[in-house]
Structure 1
């Protein structure tokens, strides 16, 4: 599976699997259904309000504007996800490790016009299949890449119960309930990547995750496991026991 190495601002290298072409096409079709239904609902609402709407605008320019608005808004508010991307475990990230900005998402949305709408998707497929990082034209301009966020081998959060039976696991960090399942899946992926590729970069990624979680959960570093892997595993088990 093709991968991309992201250099974070902390000079840590993290490897991600780039999104598969089939997954990206599937996400696009899901989003297209959402776009169609939402646009029809919008037209109906405008009609019910009695607002006049030119047919040419509604049938030609309206859908183009709606596509740009949908992808920009969804990826911006959902941190690199759309409905289709979330369902198929895809996410947009920046190549420099920083969070994508609204301008990045707007560029990606605007370049959907030549990438997909005006070329029936052929330009996007051409760039994705021939480029080293699987980027379409909009990704190249915005310096972004679409990655797979699902864990290797289809492992899910519940699979971590196999590490140790939860009935015998005393909760150490109840504050973990403040985190979302998406947060814990990110932690899980850090662990899985380290166990799959136990190199220095992924060890440093675990250490950064530990430091960040200590800050978010207001925990004393001296009172938790010194090993990042053990600490993150305990957090995951605590989360499962408290939320399942």
Structure 2
């Protein structure tokens, strides 16, 4: 697997592993199997509709309408689930932008449209060849959209970095945490964890006052909760950048 370093707009370097072609193929077949099951379900629904309507055109029209979401499965899943389909979720991979910015729906649209060339017209041969001979393992759709598929499997514990674990549904409270630098966050995190572990409330208060003097948040949160929120907010904004 190749490694990829992305520099975000907040000047934070994020290191990722580019997934192998084998993993991408497995993810593709997982999604294909899901669509196959959906097609069987639609066929059963079509048979049921046939019992209700004698008009064959009505039956075909309703079946086509029910099957329509499957046609845009890849596009819809990537847009809704932030660069992931079910196959990618199971194999822990995601589509991201090479420049570190957020992936726009138009980027997913370009990738989806070029599946016609990458996958369907030439039975996947174009996509496989371009992935194999691309430095960043990109198919034509990725190259055109400026995206790459990376692994989200964690090889390094978050506690060993400046980052904090943040849920996808996390809502940040302090938007100006980006005034802090990586060096600041590293020092805050190390001091916070040491003071919290030893119940050093004096150090926690001093650390909180120092951070608050920089950010000017005037928050009513308790010291521990405040510092924990600052760390998570910083992680949220740098990851979203």
Q: TM-score, normalised by structure 2?
A: 0.61
Aligned to 1:41: 41
* Divergent runs of 4+, >4 A: 65-68, 202-207, 218-222, 224-228
2:55 equivalent to 1:52: no
Q: Which residue of 2 aligns with 1:113?
A: 116
Residue 191 of structure 1 corresponds to: none
Greater radius of gyration (CA): 2
Task: Name the structure 2 match of 1:141.
Answer: 144
Partner-residue secondary structure (3-state), 1:6: strand
| CA shift in 2, pair 1:205/1:2, >3 Å | farther
Counterpart-to-counterpart distance in 1, 2:185 and 2:70: 38
Aligned match for 1:79, one of 73, 77, 82: 82
Q: In structure 1, what is the equivalent of residue 133 of structure 2?
A: 130
C-alpha distance in 1 between matches for 2:7 and 2:40:
42
* Per-residue deviation, 1:147: 0.1
Return the TM-score normalized by structure 1: 0.60
Cross-structure match for 2:72:
69
Structure 2: stretches of 5+ with no match in the other structure: 171-180, 190-210, 233-241
RMSD across aligned C-alpha pairs, in angstroms? 4.2
Q: CA deviation at 1:116?
A: 1.0
- Structure 1 unaligned spans of 5+: 164-175, 185-201, 233-244
Q: Determine the C-alpha separation between the residues in 2 that align with 1:45 and 1:206.
A: 56
* 1:118 to partner: Cα distance: 1.4
Q: Quote the offset at 1:112 in angstroms.
A: 1.1
**Does the CA contact (< 8 Å) of 1:35 and 1:66 recur in 2?**
no
Aligned-residue offset at 1:7: 2.3
Q: Mark the CA change 1:102 to 1:68 in structure 2 (over 3 Å): closer, same or farther.
A: farther
Whether the aligned pair in 2 keeps the contact of 1:68 and 1:112 (CA below 8 Å) is no
